[in-house]
């Protein structure tokens, strides 16, 4: 079980607070007088390099942060998670997404059962199914090959596979096209189905519970669309598969249990990419490459379990996040992939981090009183540069940012990659070291500007610098690298949750809105009285009803 240590009440926290008061006034420029800084604060793990030297840290900060992780029982927490202890206490569940990418032939006993046996057998079933869809052995009801696969799911049953299919698109040459429908807004499924053909479309209904309103609504619409052409319900088995843990509901929906790919309670939604939820990835790029992604994640698991904290990438990233959130008071963090294939990585990480650690009640059941997860956002570079980077460079907030880029491009077109790399490198340099007023004045003078102009313009062109970032460089975006990167962030989130003394694996915060929506739905559908609502909600409902002619 996880230790329950209130980090704020530890002596180390106090020491960090005192040290922060000193560190905040030492600019990065000053810290970089130490020419060994890159060697001291960078870590290599296989084909990935993390440079965290452009952070407002020194040896003392890092030792204190590591001390904090030790006091919090991080070592033991890691062991507990991998061993399948029920560390998701509020739901009484183990947290074993790591078992899904355990490709060794060992065993892992949970509730008297070797779960690796079940995991292997679902993986085998995924292998056979994905191959047969890709090779056209699995056929539609008129005997045609499947050309389009539509994954219907939301949250954890959408964000991971959607992100991974996008990230590995380069490798999907012979696979069918893969589409993702998540939003209950009818426009999402309508626009997706518009260009598809019932005879050649396969639906994967991805829902652990098989009760999620958005997913079941979209799945029903897909079923009606299919039957409008195919007519006979017998054909559903040729066009619908389920990724779920609820066999009863799957069969009630009319999906053949043969076409159900199971996963289990010990897999949380946002960590479920490694389970049957990854089936669209296997179909898109082929099972072997899908398994390479799992292998990459497994390598990160080994790194996370075995590397001392000083060289442990998820631990370092997690600690830096805490340093900025709790001591510098940063409310936001950015993840900026200089890799178009990672365009959906920030969206995936938003859920991973904010749904896991966006909590304010500690494992003691009391208000934390200190900050937990920051708001996470991001966009691929260089697009972000022409959009919101203004704020990170010259705004009033300090926003620690992770920059990611490949050394080698997957598409070596002219000098695109040189330019991408140049932008990637320059941005972190500009953020850290900025441009002083003196430098601005000299530059304007060299441009032959008048002294009046210089006086007027120069304050606006100063870059204060001293803005922290991490650089993560990988050789090229392969399935193995993608697996490693995702697992690095998963474990970063785990590290932070352990130290913040919160439960990272539940998500009670999404429940209230869902419950209220049931009541409001009745109102919208049947026009029942609205006297039990607050005046704002009641006013909005009346307005909508009036407009809809109720
Ligand atoms: C993630 C959450 C959540 C979940 C969705 C979909 O950790 O649990 O995002 O994945 O609500 O749930 P179903 O897979 O049950 O439809």
- Ligand 1 atom nearest 244 alpha carbon: 14
What confidence score (pLDDT) does residue 527 get? 76
What confidence score (pLDDT) does residue 549 get? 84
Strands 469-474 and 375-377: unpaired
In which residue are the tokens 């890691």 written? 78
Q: pLDDT band at residue 531, thresholds of 50, 70 and 90?
A: low
Q: What is the pLDDT of residues 476-488, one digit of tens each?
A: 999 999 999 999 9
What confidence score (pLDDT) does residue 145 get? 97
Q: Is the pLDDT of residue 469 over 80?
A: yes
* Residues with catalytic roles: 355, 386, 514
To test the ligand 1 pocket, which listed residue (95, 151, 155, 182) has its Cβ within 8 A of the most ligand atoms? 155
What confidence score (pLDDT) does residue 493 get? 98
Structure tokens at 20: 């922060």
- Ligand 1 atom nearest 356 alpha carbon: 7
Q: pLDDT band at residue 526, thresholds of 50, 70 and 90?
A: confident
Structure tokens at 512: 């209230």
Distance in Å, CA 155 to ligand 1 centroid = 5
Q: What is the pLDDT of residues 173-211, one digit of tens each?
A: 888 999 999 999 999 999 999 999 999 999 999 999 999
Phi, psi of 204 (to 5 degrees): -110, 110
Q: Is the pLDDT of residue 470 over 90?
A: yes
Q: Which residues, at least 6 apart from 460, have a Cβ–Cβ distance to it below 8 Å?
A: none
Quick one: CA dihedral 424, 428, 430, 431, positive or negative?
positive
Distance in Å, CA 380 to ligand 1 centroid = 26
Q: Is the pLDDT of residue 530 over 80?
A: no
Q: Is the pLDDT of residue 232 over 90?
A: yes
What confidence score (pLDDT) does residue 515 get? 87
What mean pLDDT is reported for the chain?
96
- Ligand 1 atom nearest 268 alpha carbon: 7
Strands 109-110 and 113-114: antiparallel
Q: Is 353 in the pocket of ligand 1 (CB under 6 A)?
A: no
Distance in Å, CA 192 to ligand 1 centroid = 22
What confidence score (pLDDT) does residue 525 get? 84
Q: Is 239 in the pocket of ligand 1 (CB under 6 A)?
A: no
Distance in Å, CA 406 to ligand 1 centroid = 31
- For atom 1 of ligand 1, the residue with the nearest CA is 269
Cis bond leading into 382, ω under 30°? yes
Q: pLDDT band at residue 71, thresholds of 50, 70 and 90?
A: very high
Q: pLDDT band at residue 529, thresholds of 50, 70 and 90?
A: low
Q: Is the pLDDT of residue 90 over 60?
A: yes
Q: What is the pLDDT of residues 426-468, one digit of tens each?
A: 999 999 999 999 999 999 999 999 999 999 999 999 999 999 9
Q: What is the pLDDT of residues 129-171, one digit of tens each?
A: 999 999 999 999 999 999 999 999 999 999 999 999 999 999 9
- How many CB atoms are located within 10 Å of the residue 212 CB? 21
Distance in Å, CA 158 to ligand 1 centroid = 9
Q: Which residues, at least 6 apart from 50, have a Cβ–Cβ distance to it below 8 Å?
A: 42, 43, 44, 313, 316, 317, 470, 471, 472
Name the burial class of residue 287, with classes exposed (0-12), middle (13-18) and buried (19+) by CB atoms within 10 angstroms of its CB.
buried
Q: pLDDT band at residue 61, thresholds of 50, 70 and 90?
A: very high
- Ligand 1 atom nearest 154 alpha carbon: 6
Q: Is 504 in the pocket of ligand 1 (CB under 6 A)?
A: no
Stronger pLDDT, 67 or 173, i.e. the higher one: 67
pTM of model > 0.85: yes
Q: Is 312 in the pocket of ligand 1 (CB under 6 A)?
A: no
Q: What is the pLDDT of residues 342-374, one digit of tens each?
A: 999 999 999 999 999 999 999 999 999 999 999
Q: pLDDT band at residue 1, thresholds of 50, 70 and 90?
A: confident
Q: CA 293 to CA 378: how far, in whole Å?
A: 23
């Amino acid at each position: 079980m996880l230790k329950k240590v209130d980090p704020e009440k530890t002596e180390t926290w106090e020491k960090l607070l005192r040290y922060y008061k000193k560190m905040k006034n030492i600019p990065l420029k000053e810290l970089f007088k130490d020419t060994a800084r890159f060697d001291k604060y960078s870590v290599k793990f296989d084909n990935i390099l993390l440079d965290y030297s452009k952070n407002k840290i020194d040896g003392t900060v890092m030792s204190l942060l590591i001390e904090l992780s030790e006091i919090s029982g991080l070592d033991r927490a890691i062991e507990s998670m991998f061993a399948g202890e029920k560390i998701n206490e509020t739901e009484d569940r183990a947290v074993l997404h790591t078992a899904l990418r355990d490709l060794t032939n060992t065993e892992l006993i949970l509730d008297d059962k070797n779960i690796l046996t079940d995991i292997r057998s679902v993986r085998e079933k995924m292998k056979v199914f994905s191959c047969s869809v890709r090779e056209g052995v699995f056929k539609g009801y008129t005997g045609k090959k499947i050309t389009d696969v539509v994954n219907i799911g939301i949250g954890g049953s959408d964000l991971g596979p959607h992100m991974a299919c996008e990230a590995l698109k380069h490798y999907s040459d012979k696979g069918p096209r893969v589409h993702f429908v998540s939003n209950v807004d009818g426009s999402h499924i309508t626009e997706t189905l518009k260009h598809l053909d019932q005879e050649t479309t396969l639906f994967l209904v991805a829902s652990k519970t098989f009760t999620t309103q958005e997913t079941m609504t979209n799945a029903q619409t897909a079923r009606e669309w299919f039957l409008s052409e195919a007519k006979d319900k017998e054909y559903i088995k040729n066009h619908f598969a389920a990724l779920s843990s609820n066999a009863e509901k799957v069969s009630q929906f009319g999906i053949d249990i043969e076409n159900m790919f199971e996963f289990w309670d010990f897999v949380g939604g946002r960590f479920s990419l490694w389970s049957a939820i990854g089936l669209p990835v296997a179909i898109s790029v082929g099972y072997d490459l899908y398994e390479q992604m799992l292998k990459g994640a497994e390598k990160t698991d080994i790194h996370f379990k075995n590397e001392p904290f000083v060289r442990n990438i998820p631990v370092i990233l997690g600690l830096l996040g805490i340093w900025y959130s709790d001591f510098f008071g940063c409310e936001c963090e950015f993840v900026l992939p200089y890799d178009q294939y990672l365009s959906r990585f920030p969206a995936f990480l938003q859920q991973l981090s904010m749904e896991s650690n966006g909590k304010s009640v500690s494992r003691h059941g009391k208000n934390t009183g200190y900050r937990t997860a920051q708001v996470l956002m991001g966009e691929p570079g260089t697009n972000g540069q022409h959009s919101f980077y203004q704020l990170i460079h010259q705004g009033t907030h300090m926003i620690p940012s992770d920059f990611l880029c490949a050394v080698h491009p997957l598409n070596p077109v002219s000098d695109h990659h040189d330019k991408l790399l140049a932008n990637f490198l320059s941005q972190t340099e500009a953020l850290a070291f900025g441009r002083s007023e003196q430098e601005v004045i000299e530059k304007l003078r060299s441009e032959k500007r008048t002294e009046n102009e210089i006086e007027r313009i120069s304050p606006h062109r100063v870059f204060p610098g001293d803005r922290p970032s991490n650089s993560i460089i990988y050789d090229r975006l392969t399935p193995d690298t993608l697996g490693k990167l995702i697992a690095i962030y998963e474990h970063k989130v785990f590290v932070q949750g352990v130290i913040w003394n919160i439960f990272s694996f539940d998500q009670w915060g999404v429940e209230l809105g869902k419950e209220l929506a049931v009541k409001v739905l009745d109102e919208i559908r049947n026009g029942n009285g609205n006297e039990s609502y607050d005046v704002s909600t009641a006013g909005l409902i009346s307005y909508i009803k009036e407009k809809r002619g109720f």
